[in-house]
A and B are shown apart, each in its own frame.
Chain A
Amino acid sequence: MSGTYLGMPAFPEAARKAVGDSTLRGNLRHATHTIRDKRARAVAELDDWAALREAGKQIKDHTLRHLDRYLVQVEEAVTAAGGTVHWAADADEANEIVARLVEEAGGGDSAEHEVVKVKSMATQEIALNEALEARGVHAYETDLAELIVQLGRDRPSHILVPAIHRNRGEIRDIFRSEMSEWGRPAPENLTDTPAELAEAARLHLREKFLRARVGISGANFVVAETGTLVVVESEGNGRMCLTLPETLISVVGIEKIVPRWQDLEVFLQTLPRSSTAERMNPYTSMWTGTTDEDGPRTFHLVLLDNGRTDTLADEVGRQALRCIRCSACLNVCPVYERAGGHAYGSVYPGPIGAILSPQLRGTGSDVDASLPYASSLCGACYEVCPVAIDIPEVLVHLRERVVQGGPAVRHGNRVVLRPAKGHAAERAAMRAAQWAFTHPGVLRTGQRLASRTRRLHPRTLPGPGRAWSGSRDLPPVPAEPFRDWWQRTHGGKDGSE
């Protein structure tokens, strides 16, 4: 995935720093609680929500299980409608394709080498902006939150609202100090009212929209039977990027496909209500190839793998590819609310990030090996997911992979992962437990010993167990093992208890 996040600390270290930041915690708490209640009300309006959720899950599962067929169908349909389809196995290849297309569209004149971008997780994932910058192409983010992140030289911390960690005062300060570097400065006397901040963004970006020759987007959905791409947005920046430039390049993960036009009737009901808690988002654009005299004359679709086929190879983990990037799971997650998005070390934070990043990137780095543990397994994420991804199930599955190692697919190749280094004590404890539980005499002796020595037990564990007991109480050991009590009293029936 992105090189931006190389060398990120493991989740616990990053989270420890984040929870000590009271401004950050206040911002996150305010924003996630606001949206949480609104989402619940928007969902409650539809009495068939459970059936919509089930249909969404089934459509995505069916597509994933026949993805080769649907990919070929997308290619045929988009080509027939006047578009050009490119295939990118990884981030570098996708970036190379896009950079070349931008240079071709710009006609070799370096002054023309700028692009306007619609918010897109896929291009964040492959660090497209950085790759374009290295080739002398300026990429301007036009979504308000992405603009805040870009101007603040910051990293996104939420799927839907990448600047969720910033409050209105911080946003005003960023606009005041940074906008002039990139184009039209912020208005004099800019206050921190959201309406004024939105107006400042409108003025700042308008000149860029009007002169842009190349637009870059992702897509929320690609319909295989028609070759139609769908972008769901709020501000109109998406419409600007999708219709004003002469050339449009869309970078889309291969899991974004739905088979038929009719399938959109499910997701256009579940996505807006799950993400912004609206009955419908302000703007949705749908386009099929190119249209004469309306919108871009040239359209390129870049189909991106970048770890998705590796994820698809895992029968438990592949359900993560159903994700429609609504971010409802982030907004309800008690861990995300406290740790914030940056601690996850990926453009995909929160519960979905904790199962997506270690699958797309593998569990080789410290941060990726720690992500399956960035959860209390409370299950709130599963409950709100509009495509019913059982995130706790995948988290536990990935924990097993980290601790025990085993077969996996990386870059299309079958590999056998070695058990992660940091979990030796856990494995030793589990092996000891397994031995004790399969030898009743040993278990009995051990339990009695533990009961008799219970006054001598420390309150925290020594050695490698210290980290575990750092935030937990050790369970008190009873005066008598349960099995002894049961045998002595016949389960309490002889009246002695």
Chain B
Amino acid sequence: MSSRERILGRVRRALADVPADEVPYERAVAREYAREHGRRSVAETVDLLAENLADYRAIVHRCADGELPGLLARLLAAHGSRNVVVPPGLPPGWLEGAGAEIVHDRAADTPQELDRVDSVVTGCAVAVAETGTIVLDGSPDQGRRRITLVPDHHICVVRVPDQVVGAVPQALGRLDPARPLTWISGPSATSDIELDRVEGVHGPRTLEVVLAGGGQDGRTAS
């Protein structure tokens, strides 16, 4: 007997007490929890995202669409980045005027080569206000998972308010499980020393999130 058959047989014998007509999944789970906690306007949801990102030590910036290239150039310069890796579908123009050398991500590059790159700039798939989370799904403006992992400095652009949702249930509804997903809430951190949170272990130690769109200073009209 294969282990597969052995395990499935053990499971079936263990569940002999379960009636054949037990309530189906649809009625077994009472989803009485909230889709979102509290009522917020669109602008308040974006504000909450900014607040919670900052609470977990992401550096948050806001700008209007037209100001994005200038802001990205300034952020890369301020970080002292000599080079920056970009995913294949980063909107052309975002890094116009950036002083750093642009490195295009190629499948053939080794992790060691990526380790010599200072920064990475990407878009995102969705952002979650209540938890201060950005989610990447490997779309062309986000690229392969490794490019947002090995460089020490990640700048992620969130298009507001379109890409922002209030809570986790809404984010899952927008995502495609078939794609590789990375949920990011602040820079790399650990609680392993005396259960106290310290930022900065293996992932990017600096996470900058740019909330782009809306009015002149990036504020969204209520």
Contact = CB atoms under 8 A, between A and B. Distances in A.
Interface of A: 27, 30-32, 34-35, 45-48, 51-52, 54-55, 58-59, 61-62, 65-68, 71-72, 75, 81, 87-89, 93, 142-145, 148, 160-161, 163-164, 167-168, 171, 194-195, 197-199, 201-202, 205-206, 209-211, 223, 226, 228, 234-237, 239-240, 243-244, 254, 259-266, 268-269, 276, 278-288, 291, 293-295, 303, 305, 309-310, 312-313, 315, 318, 409, 412
A295 B11 contact: no
B194 A194 contact: yes
B83 interface: no
A198 B200 contact: yes
A54 B32 contact: yes
4 smallest beta-carbon distances between A and B, as pairs = A236-B203, A236-B202, A309-B10, A313-B14
B203 A283 contact: yes
Contact of A88 (B3, B111, B180, B187): B3
A228 B14 CA distance: 26
Contacts of B115: 206, 210
Contact of A313 (B13, B132, B193): B13
Contacts of B31: 55
B182 interface: yes
Given A31-B194, A58-B29, A409 B181 contact: no
B17 to A, nearest CB: 6
A280 to B, nearest CB: 4
13 contacts: A65-B18, A87-B3, A194-B196, A223-B177, A226-B177, A235-B201, A243-B144, A260-B25, A278-B185, A282-B56, A283-B185, A286-B182, A310-B14
A265 B169 contact: yes
A144 B193 contact: yes
A97 B53 CA distance: 42
Contact of B179 (A46, A58, A291): A291
Nearest to B181: A286
Contacts of A81: 178
B112 interface: yes
Nearest to A241: B202
B194 A144 contact: no
A198 B193 contact: yes
B37 A312 contact: no
A32 B195 CA distance: 8
Contacts of B6: 87, 89, 412
B183 A283 contact: yes
A133 to B, nearest CB: 23
A87 B192 CA distance: 32
Contacts of B32: 48, 51, 54-55
A264 B29 contact: no
Contacts of A160: 191
Interface string B154-194: 00000000000000110011000111111111111111111
A55 B30 contact: yes
Contact of A237 (B8, B10, B201): B201
B149 interface: yes
Contact of A305 (B10, B131, B132): B10
B17 A198 contact: no
Contact of B52 (A88, A209, A279): A279
Given A262-B172, A315-B17, A202 B197 contact: no
Contacts of A235: 188-190, 192, 201-203
Given A239-B182, A295-B145, A194 B201 contact: no
Contact of B29 (A62, A201, A412): A62
A243 B143 CA distance: 13
Given A35-B191, A58-B29, A283-B183, 13 more contacts: A55-B32, A167-B194, A195-B200, A202-B202, A234-B201, A239-B145, A243-B144, A254-B7, A254-B11, A282-B184, A285-B183, A294-B138, A312-B14
Interface string B1-36: 011101111111111011000100100111111100
A269 B199 CA distance: 21
B4 A234 contact: no
Given A51-B33, A237-B201, A268-B168, A283 B182 contact: yes
A280 B200 contact: no
A291 B138 CA distance: 10
A283 B188 contact: yes
B162 to A, nearest CB: 21
B131 A279 contact: yes
Contact of B192 (A52, A66, A148, A284): A148
Interface string B77-119: 0000000000000000000000000000001001110010000
Nearest to B17: A315
B194 A168 contact: yes
A87 B2 contact: yes
B178 A288 contact: yes
Interface in B22-70: 22, 25, 28-34, 37, 52, 56
Nearest to A266: B33
B130 interface: yes
Given A237-B202, A264-B172, A291-B179, A65 B15 contact: yes
Contacts of A264: 172
Nearest to A331: B195
Contacts of A164: 194-195
Nearest to B184: A283
A456 to B, nearest CB: 52
Contacts of A31: 194-195
Contact of A293 (B22, B33, B144, B169): B144
A280 B11 contact: no
Contact of A67 (B15, B22, B28): B15
A352 to B, nearest CB: 17
A198 B133 CA distance: 23
A279 B132 contact: yes
B29 A47 contact: no
Contacts of B56: 278-279, 282
A285 B181 CA distance: 6
Contacts of B180: 243, 285-288, 291, 294-295
B165 to A, nearest CB: 12
